[in-house]
Amino acid sequence: MKVKQLCINSYKPPVQSSNWTQSLFLNLYRCNSQYISRHLHRLKVHNVVKGGQSFIFGEEKVGLAVGVKGSCFNAGGEVARKARSFGFGTVVLSQNELNIKETSQVISGLIQANYKYKQLGDVAQEQQQSDENNDQYSYISDLHVQENVFEDSYFQQLVQLAQIKLYARDLANTRQEGTPQFFVNEVKTLFKDNPNVEIKILEGKQLQESQLNLFYAVGQGSIYEPTLINLTYRGNKDSQQLHALVGKGITFDTGGLHLKSYGNMETMHLDKSGACNVLAAFKGAVDMKLKVNVTVTLGMAENAISNTSYKPSNILKSHKGLTVEINNTDAEGRLVLADCLSWTQSTYNPKSILEISTLTGACAAALGENTGGLFSNNDDLSQEILEIGKELQEPFWRMPVTDEHKDMMKGQFADLCNIGKSKVCGASKAAAFLFNFIDEKTPFAHLDIAGPMDSKADKGIHPPGATGFGTQVLLKYLVNKQE
């Protein structure tokens, strides 16, 4: 089920409760505020529920008092869960002790948690429609906030960032339907009539003809042709400079002939999350009409098994001209990205490049499920990404790429090998491999989101499934690059 986009409206205080029947009136306070006890006394509430990093103070079907402590985003997530547990489709922000920034973060968290991806059968769909007809909602459909909050630019921006993140989740959560051709159709539907967007598509043998042999090899075993999708938006006609985003889009990763084992393949429809996040961020930039020029490259391929699959021991020549020995067919993402990065640079000579991918389990092992890995050749770019991630609760941690890591990726029978000579430091080795395909003078950041790509529980701002982690960081980065 894909939740319809939340409709947000403004109103002028005071609240007229008669305008909103069957609504949940939300009251935000700082934790331990004297107003909370008064509010609870007025509502005759006795139970206290603790959730996440916020505290939820019980409710009747007329109001919810929230004392915010810690993450405002997570507090908003708890509000969304509380509202739907009682079947409210409308939430009205009533009393509010928080400042605009804190309030905006609460609403952003509410939007991000107000989501569920589930493909319902006919009977379940009929029941859901019946529930909504009887004012019993599974998810919030309408939100009303005070006029001064609604008109604030920071609030508007956080709402836009959160909503585009939901689109990234919709894309990443697709299963067997999420083929390379699906994404070709998606971008044509979105942008074919937009004069400010240029679309380039390279499919199948066209990749070989363009010397993207690493990319082609990964997808050659699938019935679905590997496809490079490139989109360019020119929102600043006075500048020729472009910023580039590149995303890994392995639509399903079996591991190839180095087949993944049971327990390690079931979520591999999410191995396209990087490309989904990039496409969503690009859509956000176009929708927001940002005054920035950006080009994005999506490397879409299925790493499948057949009699045409690429094989261990293959030596392939990359778009950049470097040869690569294949030691493991399950280290495929870096091959696709290597050619995409090289092609993007040679085609556009961008001012900066951000690449995002679910690249290594090693990064997840090092940083866990809530933090992404950041690898960069530029300190200023790294600092900017770290600050954006911290602000939007999509945190990254900078990881090293040293000469030792680069040496590990040198090949015995080719310039490079795709897995490295040692089983240690897998995340840094993968990043070191990619650095070979980047002009060292170009500011570059590799974002490894293998850990936070999905959520296994309904907690904080993330329901189960694809998280869209990193989408907001990419879009906020482009917002900052406006001239």
Q: How far is Cα 426 from Cα 375, in angstroms, rounded to an integer?
A: 13
Residue 333 is inside which H or E element, if any? helix 333-348
Tokens of 381: 């770019």
Tokens of 253: 């990763």
Please count the residues of the chain: 483
- Of 440, 446, 475, the closest CA to residue 363 belongs to 446
Q: Quick check: is 260 catalytic? A: yes
69, 234, 260, 406: which is the annotated catalytic residue?
A: 260
Q: How far is Cα 113 from Cα 139, in angstroms, rounded to an integer?
A: 10
Q: Quick check: is 351 catalytic? A: no
Ranges of H-type helices in 64-199: 72-85, 100-113, 122-133, 147-150, 153-172, 180-191
Q: Which amino acid makes up residue 143? A: L
Residue 445's region, left for phi above 0, alpha for psi from -120 to 50, else beta, is beta
Q: What are phi and psi of 93, to 5 degrees?
A: -75, 110
Q: What are phi and psi of 27, to 5 degrees?
A: -125, 120
Half-sphere exposure of residue 446: CA atoms within 13 angstroms, side-chain side? 32
Does residue 452 have a cis peptide bond before it, meaning omega lies within 30 degrees of 0?
no
169, 334, 476, 481: which is the annotated catalytic residue?
A: 334
SS3 state of residue 208 = helix
Q: How far is Cα 295 from Cα 340, in angstroms, rounded to an integer?
A: 12
CA distances from 393 to 103, 346, 367 (A): 15, 34, 15
CA distances from 74 to 24, 110, 367 (A): 18, 8, 20
Q: Which residues are catalytic?
A: 260, 334
